Amino acid sequence: MAMLGLKDATTGVYTNYLARFAGQEPRPAWLHELRRQAFGRFTELGFPHHKQEGWRQTNMAAVAEAVYEPQPPPPPARLVPQLRALELPGVDWSAGATRLVFVNGVYAAGLSALGPEAAGCRIGSLAERFATTDLSAHFNHADEAGQAFVQLNTAFLADGALIEVPAGKVLQRPIAVLYLTLGTSGAAARGEAQGIAQPRSLVLLGAGSQAWVIETFAGLESERYLTNSVISIDLGDNAQLEYTRIEQESGRSVHVSKLRTRQGRDSRLVAHNIALGGGLVRNNVHSILDGEGAECTLNGLYTLTGTQHVDNSTVLDHAKPLGTSREYYKGVLDGKSVGVFNGRIIVRPDAQHTDAIQSNKNLLLSDSAATLSSQPQLEIYADDVRCTHGATVGQLDQEALFYLRSRGLGLEQSRKLLVYAFAADVLGRVRTPGLREKLEALLWARWAV
Amino acid sequence: MPQAATAASGSGPTDKDESAGLQMLEIKNLHAKVKGREILRGLDLSLKAGEVHAIMGPNGSGKSTLAQVLAGRDTYEVTDGTVTYQGQDLLALSPEDRARAGVFLAFQYPVEIPGVSNNYFLRTALNAVRKYQGQEELDAVDFLALVQKKMQLLHMDEALMKRAVNEGFSGGEKKRNEIFQMAVLEPRLAILDETDSGLDIDALKTVAAGVNALRAPDRTVLLVTHYQRLLTYIVPDYVHVLSAGQIVKSGGKELALELEDKGYQWLGEPDLVAGA
């Protein structure tokens, strides 16, 4: 590992990763090689610096300086009640549901279940496939070579969800995936290791198949840890997927994620991104419309309080003609929170007749303490396209507030009702059976009195 | 439940005799300004229970300011004077407490609230009022029964309850929705701010019928309007003319006709009247 420690060697942090990297169990040759190369790239890249393009508003210095070790899970007798006590709209514990649970990124068979629909599909732990199948093509995308967190994830690639739906199969019930990361509680002592999980997941939809997938990221209250998640989704021609990621991490955690989607001809993807928790959050989305007539909707909601920092950086990549993309992100910012939205739309030379609309709307609840940065970025290399974007930052409508109060609703209740109403259309786009109602109830409880 | 509610809300036969003729609202020397500009300049007005009053006046005379001040809009600053509502200091109450105590303003420009259903909004409002007045809150079933009854009164489509508050409503639908809300909330003092504006004749008749149905010995209606037209359908007991922030003339319903005939100029230049 001669490439180790170019600029951060003095902190000893890379030594920590190197020691862990060297200690990894031997795996199939393809995986070992994949990880080795990824670790090499990660050490060359280093953690993103806040002077680096795309990271100016989100400083990852705290992550670069911290030491992370997976925290041993408590015995199931203690963990299960804790887990069940969490209000997780995306997780269905009832019988017949398909549910994959990962603790610290490792498959927890005892907490997972496969419903009747899973029969005919390949749904389960990714690690179980390693021995028999070389999956490197799915983990080694050229467009991710320069992304340090993806490389770090790959360097420690061990497990995650594998969802493979064969061509033509239409699933009725959602597949729920829960990632629980355990951390450390109490004050952070200098040099003390925090928890970490780096799940890696893969969703492959065969031509003409249809599915609903819900990913939930959760932690236990006020624990410290880093979740660095990567998921790759591939939709065959005419496939349809509604994918929801619900981020409910602990308020003292760091959550970094990468969602990469590739769509075939006439496929349809709706991807919801509901960010509710986390202390420092960076979500990267790269949606590639790689077949003619593909449709992609990115629908996002972030609700921030206290000192939360949530950065959504999305790239909608129109590579083929006649693609349609819709991006609707809404944020509600309270306290001293910081919201960042970077929405990039690329229309490649081949992608004629692209129709892309991007909208980012924000509601600032506190007078001046919360800040929001919204940046659209259009790169259009085709001449016959329609691309629009718009961003707004506003406060509660005083006219509406007075109207509600003039009918007898209290000030606080009126405020919460208007906040809920602001977010309602984002939730209204959720079509996954049973999910919208649960999300609405959760947000209602958060905002309504 | 709805029967108990009707009795408790005071429109039963025994309450009628007790409340009719009692003082509902007493405004004395009211001064109010917005953005540093004085709009109301010493307004006096006295309304008794069971009466219907109309306030007329040219544009800019302060009609809507009066309506907004009574409802508690904080963009208007009251600089002098008193407003006594059923014996209590109205100006000391928050907008929501005024509503809960029975004051209702039908807005000149009803606000659209996307994402909030009429059903949720109105049930929450009604229960806030009922709770404040010591009555039992209505559950969804009883509320629906009440709403259906009131919707018939205003010839409204029930599908409206599922729609967001005023969102995508035509001007007429918004005004009708205001009177519908009033019918459900059963206020003691109803202030109608230019409710006739933007209504065609059929809608005007419907709205007027809705208001007339709510006329009661224990209820006072204050109509704020620019035109006499509304007063053909809702016949007031008293008409007041507001000019430059003061009531400059009061009379019976015939005063409205006189104004219609002669115009506001008949009362003299507003500035001269105000300066008097």
Chain A residue with the nearest C-alpha to that of B70 = A406
Q: Minimal Cα–Cα distance from A427 to chain B, Å? A: 11
Check if A417 contacts B (Cβ < 8 Å): yes
| Cα–Cα distance measured from residue A350 to residue A341, given in angstroms and rounded to the nearest whole number | 27
Using the structure block, give the residue that is written with the tokens 């199948």: A133
Token pair in block for residue A126: 């990714």
Q: Which residue has the tokens 């921030």?
A: A304
Q: A405 and B107 in contact by Cβ < 8 A?
A: no
* 3-state SS record for A124-149: EECHHHHCCCCCHHHHCCHHHCCCHH
The mean of the pLDDT values for chain B is 88
Q: What separation in angstroms does the CA of B210 have from each of A62, B15, B49?
A: 65, 22, 19
> For residue A409, which residues of chain B lie inside 8 Å, CB to CB?
96, 121, 124-125, 128
The type of residue at B112 is E
Coil, strand or helix at A331: strand
Q: B84 in helix, strand or coil?
A: strand
Is residue B267 within 8 Å of B249, Cβ to Cβ? Answer: yes
Closest Cα to residue A275, out of A323, A331, A325, A237?
Answer: A331
* Residue among B72, B105, B111 whose CB faces A400 most closely: B111
The closest CB to that of B115, out of A411, A414, A425, belongs to A425
pLDDT digits 0-9 by tens, B67-114 = 999 999 999 999 999 999 999 999 999 999 999 999 999 999 999 999
Rounded distance between C-alpha atoms, residue B204 and residue A438, angstroms: 43
Spatial distance between the Cα atoms of A78 and A30, rounded to a whole number of angstroms: 38
- Give the residue from B203, B188, B187, B199 showing the smallest Cα distance to B225: B199
For B14, which DSSP code? H
* Model pLDDT, residue B156: 86
ipTM: 0.90
pLDDT one digit per residue (tens) for chain A, 449 residues:
333 333 444 445 567 777 778 777 767 999 999 999 999 999 999 999 888 889 999 999 888 888 899 998 889 899 999 999 999 999 999 999 999 999 999 999 999 999 999 999 999 999 999 989 999 999 999 999 999 999 999 999 999 999 999 999 999 999 999 999 999 987 766 678 899 999 999 999 999 999 999 999 999 988 999 999 999 999 999 999 999 999 999 999 999 999 999 999 999 999 999 999 999 999 999 999 999 999 999 999 999 999 999 999 999 999 999 999 999 999 999 999 999 999 999 999 999 999 999 999 999 997 779 999 999 999 999 999 999 999 999 999 999 999 999 999 999 999 999 999 999 899 999 999 999 999 999 988 877 54
Q: How far apart are CA A341 and CA A377, in angstroms?
A: 11
> What are the φ/ψ torsions at residue A382 (nearest 5 degrees)?
-115, 155
Rounded (to 5) percent helix, strand, coil in chain A = 25, 35, 40
Which residues from chain B sit within 8 angstroms of residue A422, using beta carbons? 115
pTM of the model: 0.86
Say what the pLDDT of residue A39 is. Answer: 93
Rg for chain A (alpha carbons), in Å?
21
Centre a 10 Å sphere on the Cβ of residue A131 and count the other Cβ atoms it contains: 9
How close is the nearest chain B Cα to the Cα of A172, in Å? 28
Interface contact flag, A411 B113, Cβ < 8 Å = no
Q: Exposed e or buried b for every residue in A161-175, given b needs 16+ CB within 10 A? A: bbbbbeeebebebbb
pLDDT at res. B17: 52
Contacts of B168 in chain A (CB under 8 A): none
pLDDT in tens, A341-367: 999 999 999 999 999 999 999 999 977
Cβ–Cβ contacts within 10 Å for residue B48, how many? 17
Give the neighbor-by-neighbor strand order of the sheet with B37-48: B37-48, B23-34, B76-85, B88-89
Q: How confident is the model at residue B94, as a pLDDT?
A: 98
DSSP assignment of B183-225 equals HHH--SEEEEESTTTT--HHHHHHHHHHHHHT--TT-EEEEEE
The one-letter code for the residue type at B264 is Y
> Using CA atoms in the order A286, A350, A135, A151, what is the torsion angle rounded to 10 degrees?
-40
Reply yes or no on whether the pLDDT at B7 is more than 60.
Answer: no
Chain A hits for B113, Cβ within 8 Å:
400, 403-404, 418, 421
Tell whether A441 is within 8 A of chain B (Cβ). Answer: no
Res B3: pLDDT: 37
